[in-house]
Amino acid sequence: MEDTLPSGATEEDVDPRERLVLVVAYHPDPQHLGRSIRIPSGGIRFGRDHAESGLHLHTDKRMSRSHAEILPIRGKISLHDLKSRNGTWLNGDRVTHATLEDGDVVRMGSVALVLRKEPVATAVPEGMVGAGAAFRGLCHEIASFGPRASVVLLEGEAGVGKGLVARALHAASGLTGSFVTFDCGAVAPGVMHSELFGHRAGAFSGAAAARPGLIEQARQGTLFLDEIGDA
């Protein structure tokens, strides 16, 4: 989808981290299967006389010359049948006008399309490696939350890379302070308060010198408390 907002839409109507695309679920020519078709702000028309989809519909005898149109209106994706002979079908029902949702199946002529959400391409944080929609979505979450989040809870099994995500969030935040990491599972429960807030010399047995706490060490930066559930 183009960066231009649809007429009447506001910034709140469009999620900048993702866009809606049409994925080819069926086409007589197998080379088109799985293709993603972006929906421009001016919409896209399908028919034997319309080539903008790139699906070579001019040879589809079941397709009308001007069959249907799909376009964004006020942040929504609308489907309009253009008085086609064989009709436009949404999830098995013939329609003339409809608002599409993620996962809807549209059939026109010999072609079936599925509306899907697709993350907008973004940079992969340093140190992170991955592929697929879930990983791209994670990268978008990092880019989105990094500059504005104060507290983030990262959940996942041991070894999945929570520390890498925390470091990437710090890098995306623009904060000038340090990235401080601490393993909460490595200390006794009664010591956690002292670790967080520091202590003065002689505050308890073994406290020979004053020490700043983790919060002070991470001032103007990020404090990553690993295994916080064990604290």
- For 151, the token pair is 């507290």
- pLDDT score recorded for residue 132: 73
What is the dihedral sign for C-alpha 151, 157, 162, 165?
A: negative
Contact 154, 160 (CB under 8 A): no
Q: What is the pLDDT of residues 16-68, one digit of tens each?
A: 456 788 999 999 999 999 988 988 888 999 999 999 899 999 999 999 999 99
Q: What is the pLDDT of residues 56-102, one digit of tens each?
A: 999 999 999 999 999 998 888 999 999 999 999 999 999 999 999 99
Domain boundary assignment for the chain: 11-119, 133-230
- pLDDT score recorded for residue 63: 97
Classify domain 11-119 at the CATH topology level: Tumour Suppressor Smad4 (2.60.200)
Q: Burial-class residue 106 by CB neighbours within 10 Å (0-12, 13-18, 19+).
A: buried
- pLDDT score recorded for residue 190: 76
Q: How far is CA 42 from CA 2, 3, 4, 32, in A?
A: 9, 12, 10, 23
pLDDT value at 168 more than 80: yes
Mean pLDDT across the chain: 84
Question: pTM value?
Answer: 0.49
Domain 11-119 and domain 133-230 have a common topology: no
Contact 142, 165 (CB under 8 A): yes
The listed CATH number (3.40.50.300, 2.30.30.60, 3.30.420.40, 3.30.2090.10) that belongs to domain 133-230: 3.40.50.300
* CA-wise closest residue to 88 among 70, 108, 104: 108
* CA-wise closest residue to 84 among 99, 63, 69: 63
Contact 107, 67 (CB under 8 A): no
